[in-house]
Structure 1
């Protein structure tokens, strides 16, 4: 099992939670193909609204991949947006700043935001547990 963080604005995360899906890197399939049923995925939102909304810097959703393969968005078949189904947990939005010192994937604590520039990336079990515990109490 692999743990993932997906960097997505809060407004897009809210759409994903309502629709029970995730997208990655503006609808591209490559990272979604690396995910497997049962993988954990946490969503980090640098902003409230994409692309220029006010800063948020919080984890906004968490769940598990619930299917076996990416699929094209059925609502907009003329636009190539790949998705994966996600079973989301009930959780609370959690600011990242209180967690930075506990998160091993953030190697440079002074420039902690750098890692999120990659969009989707893997984290180890320890980091996933820090995030999940903070979000679900």
Structure 2
């Protein structure tokens, strides 16, 4: 089964909250808690969180990747955060990593179609990227490639 790679977008405060779970796995929550985007994400997929700002809606620019991990089995589930806000989540096994600026990576990314408009795709909140781009992110974040299952994708031999 093919493993997909995703960039999710959230403020650093929100992304950090998702990977700081104390009593279980971390979680991902995208697009203001909508369930539809999470249905595209499968167990075993990799996800990296990009934070344009430190706080939601803030002017405190960060432009960094703040967490990276592997999506765990299970369907999206509703979680009551109080105040009538009940977003959908998926569980994620985050790996140890350092936050890393996106700026040195922009010229190397395959998903960037125009360097002048590199941030365009981030407006979608969740989008897929190539293995090449996820490896760049993981390397910049100093994340363990084995923990992210790089090199463990199924290999297919051609029979002649």
Are positions 1:107 and 2:113 aligned together? Answer: yes
Q: 1:88 aligns with which of 74, 94, 104?
A: 94
What is the CA–CA distance in structure 2 between the aligned matches of 1:56 and 1:79, rounded to whole Å? 26
Unaligned ranges ≥5, structure 2: 144-160
What is the CA–CA distance in structure 2 between the aligned matches of 1:104 and 1:23, rounded to whole Å? 25
Q: Which residue of 2 aligns with 1:3?
A: 5
The normalised TM-score by structure 2 is: 0.81
- Deviation of the 1:74 alpha carbon: 5.0
- Deviation of the 1:52 alpha carbon: 1.6
The normalised TM-score by structure 1 is: 0.94
Q: Which residue of 1 aligns with 2:16?
A: 14
Quote the RMSD (CA, aligned, Å).
Answer: 1.5
Q: Report runs of 4+ in structure 1 exceeding 2 Å deviation.
A: 74-80
Unaligned ranges ≥5, structure 1: none
Q: Which residue of 2 aligns with 1:60?
A: 66
- Deviation of the 1:120 alpha carbon: 0.3
Higher normalized contact order (CA 8 Å, seq sep 6+, divided by chain length): 1
Higher helix share: 1
Q: CA-to-partner distance for each residue in 1:17-36, whole Å, 9 max, x for gaps? A: 11310101000000111111
Q: CA-to-partner distance for each residue in 1:43-64, whole Å, 9 max, x for gaps? A: 0000010012400001110001
What is the CA–CA distance in structure 1 between the aligned matches of 2:66 and 2:45, rounded to whole Å? 17
Aligned residues: 137
What is the CA–CA distance in structure 1 between the aligned matches of 2:62 and 2:84, rounded to whole Å? 32
